[in-house]
Structure 1
Amino acid sequence: MSLRPAFCLRNQLRSCSSLPRAQRRWARVHDIRFVATQNRIQDKYREKLEQKARDEGFQSVSQMKEAYEERIKQLRKKVSSELSKATNPQAQPQPQQQSPSLNQPPPPAPQPGQTTQTAQKTTDKSGSAAPGIKPLSAYLDLERVSSLPAKEIEYIWRLRHASNPKSLCAVIPLETYKRIYDTARTHPRFILPLPRPAAEDGSGDVAQSADGFAADAKRTASDIHFLQWSFHPPAGAPPAPGSRTANTHTSTILFTHLAAFKLHGEFAQPHTTVTHHLDLADSHGLVLLNGSVTDRKGVSAEEAKWLLLCMQKFYDYGGHGGGVGKEKRQDLLKKFSKGDSSFNLGELVDEAERIS
């Protein structure tokens, strides 16, 4: 009997046993830690789940799960959707930008001497007044006031601002305002001196203002303040079609320290803001003025009133003081607007301090 066939068969079996076994791809892999944790949670709350199932009228916990299966799916879907939105903001729908309407009127053209950026700032959604400027209706009930005589309106207007120590108010006749307005359109910028007590240090040196301008040692020094006019659409309701009205605008004056304006330019913070309202110009011939003084800007309310009176002296050079010094004040305005080197600050101070 030959042993060779048996030896060959044993070698073949040995070689077959060394071949890699085929992997079962349908086999499931479980995380032992997850299964253990899940079992612990089920064991911990098993009694409560069974009690809940009995309370709900179910015979077992599995029967209760089947009953609530659809509700659980909906809750899971809702939570998954909210979680997806929270973790992926780009997936949220963006609000659609409103395209400009074809019937929307174009923005108003800038006034002479006004940049496009300034014109856009002075027009709000209603097209009535510049942002930050309150209309007269914010202070008075125009429907009731319009039926009162001019004297009562003046009394109410002054009483309206009497409780605020930082407030400025005045009632200007329309003819006076028209003269000031005509001058302001030609000379929208100017400077005014504010007298200050000179330093008494006994040095005998020439006194200087806070803005660096030399002043006469025999009199008080002066701070120089920069004023700027701006004009906006009317603050009240538009006039009836075909009617002639003086209420064509609302004007404001900004008073700023000249030193601050030199340093910051258009971004300098004003210490006093004054607004003229023409809502009652047609019916009563009155222009109502109101203003406010900013705290901690180095100017008191009384000093702001002095600057306001000084402004009227120069801008109403034809009607103020019976025409005395009219040519001098007009000449100073022209020289400053043109940037004439012959503009003299001493002459400006003399005219500002002149009583008549």
Structure 2
Amino acid sequence: MALRSPAIRNLLGPHTSISPLRQFQRRWAQVHDVRFVATHQLNNVVERYKDKLSQKAKQEGHSSIASLKEAYQDKIQSVRAADAVETPHPEPLSTSSQSNPGNPRPASSSSTSQPESHHASSPPKSSAPGIKPLSAYLDIPKILTLPQKEIETLWRLRHAPNPNSVCATIPLETYNRLVSTARQNPQFILPLPREIETPASDGERSADNPPTKSSIAAEIHFLQWGFHPPSSTPTSPPTSPDFRTQNTHTSTVIFTHLGAYKLHGAYAQPHTIITHHLDLADEKGLVLMNGTVVPDKGVSLDEAKLLIMWLQRFYDWGVDGSEGGKKGEMLRMFSRGDVAGFKVEDLVEEVERI
């Protein structure tokens, strides 16, 4: 799957393959009945417990299930908060000052010295709760002495040991285009192909054919941008009175199954979280992105990478904005709640063109 822009090509390493998803592509293109699989499961759960909830409401003197839910609202909120878990992040690299040819980390030298981690007794803090600053992964003063190519290599090596980690280096101008679109359209949905079993029609059923058949459906994922205060101050003093730092914020994008978001709202557990660090933006013109795919959430690392690449294609409209086209219009329709104009079938077709 070719990308016009090289901005997030570092997302996929040289040995990464997404061929299991590609085999769905042509078959998926023929699907016209787009299914919100998780949403159907949600409806089944509600119906399954409707009678028990009604009985519980009568026993406690409530007129309806809604009244029962309102009475237990505080307890529901406390249970949800207790169930929330912090997304794991890779631990900082240990300090290394000796050259080791057998170690995949760069050898110690004046241009490729290994960044030192902070002491465990005083871990770096981010101004946004739950978000690790860039200094938790790299020694920023040392990194700033390196050329861009070595920074990109170090960043990939920093996350290579974690099988659930994703990372990329993004040119500042590309990131600024993404953010410009994201501030106007902070929420969107993206599809992933899923093979599901569906009942066979009467004409397809026979002694030789099974009662079900395989088909490809679109599993929908909800994404949301977040903007937080920067985790560090500018890395060098202003060189002129007109100096304006680019390190004005830290941004995150969370990906959640749409069905889970519809069921739990803000308490839905995301399956992938990515963070953009702007600490090097002023001096190196680079934004470092890293993220974690939460295990056992129904999304593989390759599928998460696919969602992130599609995110870039929908939010980066090119230098002059001419590449927005249908993608840009779909983002705007979704943001303004245009139910009549926004069609999931059109979204699937647009994704297939990428």
Query: Normalized against structure 2, the TM-score is what?
Result: 0.57
Aligned AA (2:308): L
Query: What is the aligned residue count?
Result: 217
Q: Does 1:314 align with 2:314?
A: yes
Deviation at 1:318, TM superposition (A): 2.8
Aligned AA (1:174): L
Secondary structure of the corresponding residue to residue 317 of structure 1 = coil
Q: Superposition pairs for residues 103-252 of structure 1, below 5 Å?
A: 129-199=127-197, 202-203=200-201, 220-238=216-234, 240=237, 243-252=243-252
Aligned AA (2:312): Q
Aligned equivalents of 1:251 and 1:202: distance in 2? 46
Aligned equivalents of 1:204 and 1:329: distance in 2? 39
Equivalent position of 1:352 in the other structure: 351
Equivalent position of 2:275 in the other structure: 275
Aligned equivalents of 1:127 and 1:199: distance in 2? 47
Deviation at 1:220, TM superposition (A): 2.6
Question: For the Cα contact (< 8 Å) 2:222–2:258, is it kept in 1?
Answer: yes
Deviation at 1:237, TM superposition (A): 2.8
Question: For the Cα contact (< 8 Å) 1:129–1:234, is it kept in 2?
Answer: yes
Aligned equivalents of 1:199 and 1:155: distance in 2? 43
Aligned equivalents of 1:221 and 1:138: distance in 2? 40
Aligned equivalents of 2:274 and 2:147: distance in 1? 25
Equivalent position of 2:255 in the other structure: 255
Aligned AA (2:182): A
Aligned equivalents of 1:178 and 1:167: distance in 2? 24
Secondary structure of the corresponding residue to residue 179 of structure 1 = helix
Aligned AA (1:221): A
Q: Does 1:328 align with 2:340?
A: no
Deviation at 1:198, TM superposition (A): 4.3
Residues 1:295 and 1:319: Cα distance change in structure 2 (over 3 Å): farther
Equivalent position of 2:26 in the other structure: none
Equivalent position of 2:73 in the other structure: none
Aligned AA (1:246): Q
Aligned equivalents of 1:140 and 1:203: distance in 2? 58
Aligned equivalents of 2:295 and 2:338: distance in 1? 35
Aligned AA (1:231): F
Query: What does the per-residue CA deviation read over 1:172-211, in whole Å, with 9 as the maximum and x for residues that have no partner?
Result: 1111100000000000000010112243764499xxxxxx
Query: What does the per-residue CA deviation read over 1:274-323, in whole Å, with 9 as the maximum and x for residues that have no partner?
Result: 00001111111110000001111111111100000010110013369x95
Deviation at 1:151, TM superposition (A): 0.4
| Identical positions, percent | 58
Aligned AA (1:252): T
Residues 1:331 and 1:219: Cα distance change in structure 2 (over 3 Å): farther
Aligned equivalents of 1:316 and 1:151: distance in 2? 23
Q: Does 1:297 align with 2:293?
A: no
Equivalent position of 1:343 in the other structure: 342
Question: For the Cα contact (< 8 Å) 2:191–2:221, is it kept in 1?
Answer: yes
Aligned equivalents of 1:134 and 1:151: distance in 2? 24
Larger Rg: 1
Deviation at 1:238, TM superposition (A): 4.3
Secondary structure of the corresponding residue to residue 197 of structure 1 = strand
Aligned AA (1:168): V
Aligned equivalents of 1:316 and 1:271: distance in 2? 23
Residues 1:158 and 1:276: Cα distance change in structure 2 (over 3 Å): same
Deviation at 1:253, TM superposition (A): 0.5
Bigger relative CO (Cα 8 Å, ≥ 6 apart) = 2
Residues 1:143 and 1:127: Cα distance change in structure 2 (over 3 Å): closer
Secondary structure of the corresponding residue to residue 297 of structure 2 = coil
Question: For the Cα contact (< 8 Å) 1:255–1:272, is it kept in 2?
Answer: yes
Aligned AA (2:346): E
Question: For the Cα contact (< 8 Å) 1:129–1:250, is it kept in 2?
Answer: no
Deviation at 1:127, TM superposition (A): 9.3
Residues 1:149 and 1:282: Cα distance change in structure 2 (over 3 Å): same
Question: For the Cα contact (< 8 Å) 1:332–1:343, is it kept in 2?
Answer: yes
Aligned equivalents of 2:322 and 2:191: distance in 1? 21
Secondary structure of the corresponding residue to residue 194 of structure 1 = strand
Query: What does the per-residue CA deviation read over 1:87-128, in whole Å, with 9 as the maximum and x for residues that have no partner?
Result: xxxxxxxxxxxxxxxxxxxxxxxxxxxxxxxxxxxxxxx995
Residues 1:219 and 1:246: Cα distance change in structure 2 (over 3 Å): farther
Q: Which structure shows the higher helix fraction? A: 1
Aligned AA (1:300): S
Deviation at 1:235, TM superposition (A): 1.3
Q: Superposition pairs for residues 68-87 of structure 1, below 5 Å?
A: none
Moved beyond 6 Å, runs of 4+:
none
User: Where do 5+ consecutive residues of structure 1 fail to align?
Assistant: 1-125, 206-216
